[in-house]
A = this chain, B = another copy of it.
Amino acid sequence: MRLDKHSSIPLYAQLRELLVEQIQDGRYKPGDQIPSELTLCEELDLSRPTVRQAIADLVADGILVIEKGKGTFVAKEPERFVIEHFNALTFSFLNFDTYEGVGLKPIKLMEPDPELDRMFKYPADKPHPGYWLIEWPLRADNEILGICSSYVPVQIFPELGQSISAGKRMVDIKSNKYAMLPQKGSLSVLARPAKNKEAKALNIPRRTFILAIEGPLFSRSGHVCEVLRVALRPDLVQLEMN
């Protein structure tokens, strides 16, 4: 046994990390029952408060769950929503065949913005009519898994806002625009602290790490035609790349 009664690390913390490592090594698997408080006390020659504190910490961490009258169990991992065949176009608005059921928020017209202008490679001194901002939630079972934002230049799609508000079909919106539709992208995938707005929209504490996907999409001719910013719940989503 690896508990060291002469260590400066409190015994409850040693026991806590011992249990964590046994769970992480697969000795106790999600759903498995761990030994009772009494068994741990006896086997490791520990006091009841020491064992209780270690277990309370792990319950607070979400690693163990106590089922009343049954015992203490390794928490089941949250069931993650798998985004299959994830690629640069997965979250592209212009790549959608339809926006029915997507739950778009009202589309917004945005002024030119220095950061976006840089991504779209628009010269700073040349005025242009701005961007459409299209936003929609990524949901599963009524839970919000992520917030998707797509920026599309008004220059390329002058009527986009009106067309969507009027309920025009995606196939009609995209007709004759084939050369302007995204074919590939250059997306960053990273974990970073949520911005306050993202935290609020995702219903997570401020500054929680999120999984973010950000970057430009390119048309057949190599021009940036869309910029994506996706913020995903780190505990609920996983990307699958094939």
A residues with a Cβ closer than 8 A to B are: 17, 20-21, 24, 26, 61, 80, 82, 86-88, 114-115, 184-192, 195-197, 206-207, 209-211, 215, 234-235, 237-242
Contact = CB atoms under 8 A, between A and B. Distances in A.
Contact of A191 (B186, B191, B240): B191
B17 A188 contact: no
Nearest to A77: B192
B190 A211 contact: yes
B189 A241 contact: yes
20 contacts: A21-B196, A24-B195, A24-B196, A26-B114, A61-B207, A185-B241, A186-B241, A186-B242, A189-B189, A189-B238, A189-B240, A190-B239, A191-B191, A191-B210, A191-B211, A191-B234, A191-B235, A192-B234, A192-B235, A209-B234
Given A209-B209, A209-B234, A234-B209, A189 B86 contact: yes
State the oligomeric state as a number of copies. Answer: 2
A239 B188 contact: yes
A185 B239 CA distance: 13
B211 A242 contact: no
The 3 closest A-B pairs by CB, nearest first: A191-B234, A190-B238, A189-B239
Contact of A24 (B26, B80, B197, B234): B197
A198 to B, nearest CB: 9
Given A26-B115, A61-B207, A207-B61, A238 B188 contact: yes
A5 to B, nearest CB: 21
A22 to B, nearest CB: 11
